[in-house]
Every structure is written in structure tokens, then in C-alpha cells.
Amino acid sequence: MAIVIENDEIKNIKNSNSIVEEYSIPNDGGVHGGVAYHDLQGKAVVPGLVDAHTHLLWSGDRSPEVRQRREGLSYAEIAASGGGIQSTVSATRAASDEHLFRDGYVRLREALRTGTTYLEAKSGYGLTVKDELRLLEIAHRLDQMTELPSLHPTWMGAHDVPKGQTKEAYMHELLSKQLPAVAEQGIARSADVFCEPGWFDLDETHDLLRDSKNAGLGLRMHVDEFANGGGGELAASLRVETADHAYHTPMNARKAMAANDVMTGFLPGTPYAMGDGWPDMNSMVEEGIPYSLATDFNPNCQTLSLPFMMSLMVQRCGVHPLEALRATTVNAAKSTPHVSGRPHGCIVEGGVANLNIVDGPNWEAVTLRPTGTPFCATILEGRFISH
Ligand code: NIG
Ligand code: FE
């Protein structure tokens, strides 16, 4: 088979011989008449991967929390003792724009090397109008870089309540100051809320997402990461784009989510880093419920490798490799559509030319290199990038 790409679009998918004839490609390959010809020598090609949930931009070092968890402290206890999100917020506020941009650049290069061609990036480590807008602005600058994956910026001011402020006062600030400023800035495409017992409750999440929708933003949620707080049902009733973690979400809520077109976003990096059990993904397949897989890149879980997530699921949780690939491509693209409005996460004519060339003849190899990259090259919006 051959794939013809024009600019950033897949133009044609055909039998190789007819393409060679149609474009009069000489058998030495190379560039002829403005057409670059790449003979992949039988290597497998899979869609560009879509990372539908990351906390891309932050600064600081939370590594002592690895030890604290092993010494028995919970996520909530670490947060209460001055660690957790609040410590990242302090370090992020103190970091310069250039520092945050440079870290973001390096992280996105790493994501691209492991096949990510599109990535959702949340703010949420600023928690003031100024600092949240700054994180979104830096995401926007990174999005302008043609050699990096394109971004879906999400405003997540409701990630935590800043130190020294009451929940009521912060809710008021979110609704009356942050959200209008974010809408006016025009960079964020979605809003996300950490809907979890101990953080934002169902009523607060409802109010934040209702106003976000009215401001023209798509809706996303963190639900049931540590306990079932009813976030799955709320996600279904609000018909959000994706409800993520969903670790403690009961099956009836997952079914309601699917019936309302809400993607379930599993984030295996969190249980990997935090020492919990794995989500029961195979019951999703039995029930016919689609799900996506994302990295949840954050200070606790510092990997941007979707092949690693796939490997965890396939080799540790009995997930079929095709399900893992579906979860990081077409399903992730459903909750995180390309800004152009064209299909991505799939190989179709008229789709965005985002493709990964597997370093071997079989696509299953994407799950077999958790510590390196299974890809020898990525085509990013039409540009051929060797790894
Ligand atoms: O999705 N749970 C909320 N947010 C992140 C982690 C935030 C943090 O610990 O810094 C998550 O896991
Ligand atoms: Fe997250």
C-alpha cells in the first residue's frame, strides 16, 4: 500500500504500484518533481497517537513524595502536609516564562519521539487569573512550533484551592474572574475540574462546567480517582467530552457515560506511579464501552510515552493490543478532535497526515518497547521526522 500526502493532509491511499505509475516515481526513490518518495520497505504504519490528558506545564520537584508514599502517606495526607499540587503551584508561579517554555519544549519533543502527534495540555498549576493565563499563553506559544505535536489547551483553574483562600472565595474567583478572562484570552478549548471528594464537589463542578459551556468551552472532568464521588453520573448528565481516571466509577455510571457520548479516559500512569491496582479495562470491552488511554503527565507521573501506557495495559492487564491502539488513536481523537476539524487518530483520505512508522513489519510492536520508542519515524502534519 502507499499513502499520498499533500501538505498536511492524506490525499490518497492506494496500491503502491498504481501510485508509482500515477506519479511516475523512478525506482531509485528520492525527490522528483516536488514529490518526496519514501520506501518504507514493508514497515507497519499506525496513526499518530493522541494524548488526551496531560498536565504539560509545571515546575518544581515532588520526588520526596515517592518516599513518603512508601512510608505510608496517602495523596491527601501529602497534600495536607504542604506537598502535592500546592507545592507545584508555588514552584510554577516562581518559574520564568522561558523556563516553563523550555521545559514544555523538551517534554513535547519526548512525546513526539514516542509517537504522539496531538496532545491535550491543561493549565492548573497557576490558580490565579494571571498565572492561569500565563500557562495557557505558554501552551499557545508551544502550539505555534511546527516541529512539535499540536496542542489542545484546557483551562483547569479548578485543580485545587490556592493556599490561604476559602473554597467559597476561590469558587467566586473562578466563576467571576478566571473564566471570563480565559474566555477573553481565547486560547483554551476546554475546561476541566478535579471533581473528587475533598477537592471540588458535584455542585461546584456542575456550576463551573455550566458556566464554562456558556463561555464556549468544551467540558472535561477528573472523576473518581481515589473514591467514587458520583462524578461519572454528573459527567453523563453534562455530556462532557471525557471523564478521566474513572478508576472508582461504577459500571452503571460508565454505561450512562457511554450512552451520553462521554469518553471514559483511563490513565494507567497514575496507578503505576501511585501504587494502586489497575482499572478493569476488559469489563469495558465486554460491555462494549469505548475508552481512551492517556498519560496524565504530571509531577507524580513523569512519562509522556503512550507506548508505555499501551505496554502496561497489554502486558500487565490482559488488554488486547488492538484495544490499546484504538484507545490511543481513534478513541482519544474522539474526545480530543483536531483543531482543523479534520479526522486524526486514523488513516483516512482527507485526514490529517499524522502517522507513525513502526520499526518493523508488525503493528503489534507498538506495545513491546516500553522504555524506548517503537517508531523509526513520525509524519507530523505532513513532515517526515526520523527518530
Ligand atoms: O490527574 N488529580 C489531579 N491532578 C493530577 C495530579 C496532580 C498532582 O498531583 O500534581 C492527576 O493525577
Ligand atoms: Fe490529570
CA dist., res. 122 & res. 220, Å (int) = 10
CB 222 within 8 A of CB 195: yes
* Ligand 1 atom at minimal distance to the Cα of residue 125: 10
Ligand nearest to the CA of 242: 2
Least confident interval from 204-213, 270-279, 343-352: 270-279
298: CA distance to ligand 1 center in Å?
6
Q: What average pLDDT score do residues 312-323 get?
A: 95
- Judged against a pLDDT cut of 90, whether residue 26 lies above it is answered with no
What is the b/e burial string over 147-160, where b = at least 16 CB atoms within 10 angstroms of the residue's CB?
ebbbbbbbbbbbbb
Q: Which residues lie below 8 Å from residue 386, measured CB to CB, with a gap of 6+? A: 376, 377
CB 19 within 8 A of CB 4: yes
pLDDT tens, residue by residue, 156-197: 999 999 999 999 999 999 999 999 999 999 999 999 999 999
Helix axes 202-214 and 231-238, enclosed angle (nearest 10): 20
Q: Read off the C-alpha cell for 209.
A: 462546567
* Structure confidence at residue 13 as a pLDDT band (50, 70, 90): very high
Work out the percent of the chain whose per-residue pLDDT is above 90: 91
pLDDT at 242: 98
- Judged against a pLDDT cut of 90, whether residue 21 lies above it is answered with no
CA dist., res. 233 & res. 373, Å (int) = 38
What pTM does this model have? Answer: 0.97
* Structure confidence at residue 371 as a pLDDT band (50, 70, 90): very high
What is the best residue among 90, 122, 194, 309 to mutate for testing ligand 1's pocket, by most ligand atoms within 8 Å of CB? 194
pLDDT at 280: 83
pLDDT at 25: 79
Average pLDDT, rounded, for the chain: 96
Residue 223 CA to chain centroid, in angstroms? 16
Residues with CB under 5 A from ligand 2 (ion): 296
Least confident interval from 115-119, 270-274, 332-336: 270-274
| Ligand 1 lining (C-beta closer than 6 Å) | 55, 84-85, 88, 194, 222, 225, 270, 296, 298-300
pLDDT at 20: 82
pLDDT at 23: 83
For the chain, the structural domain boundaries read 47-335
Q: What average pLDDT score do residues 229-234 get?
A: 98
Q: Read off the C-alpha cell for 71.
A: 512510608
pLDDT tens, residue by residue, 73-109: 999 999 999 899 999 999 999 999 999 999 999 999 9
pLDDT tens, residue by residue, 30-76: 787 778 889 999 999 999 999 999 999 999 999 999 999 999 999 99
If DSSP codes are grouped into helix, strand and coil, which group holds residue 355? strand
Domain 47-335 falls in which CATH fold?
TIM Barrel (3.20.20)
DSSP 8-state assignment for residue 367: G
pLDDT at 22: 86
Q: What average pLDDT score do residues 316-322 get?
A: 94
114: CA distance to ligand 2 center in Å?
20
pLDDT at 35: 83
Work out the percent of the chain whose per-residue pLDDT is above 70: 99
Residue 224 CA to chain centroid, in angstroms? 18
**HEC secondary structure over 89-115:** HHHHHHCCHHHHHHHHHHHHHHHHHCC
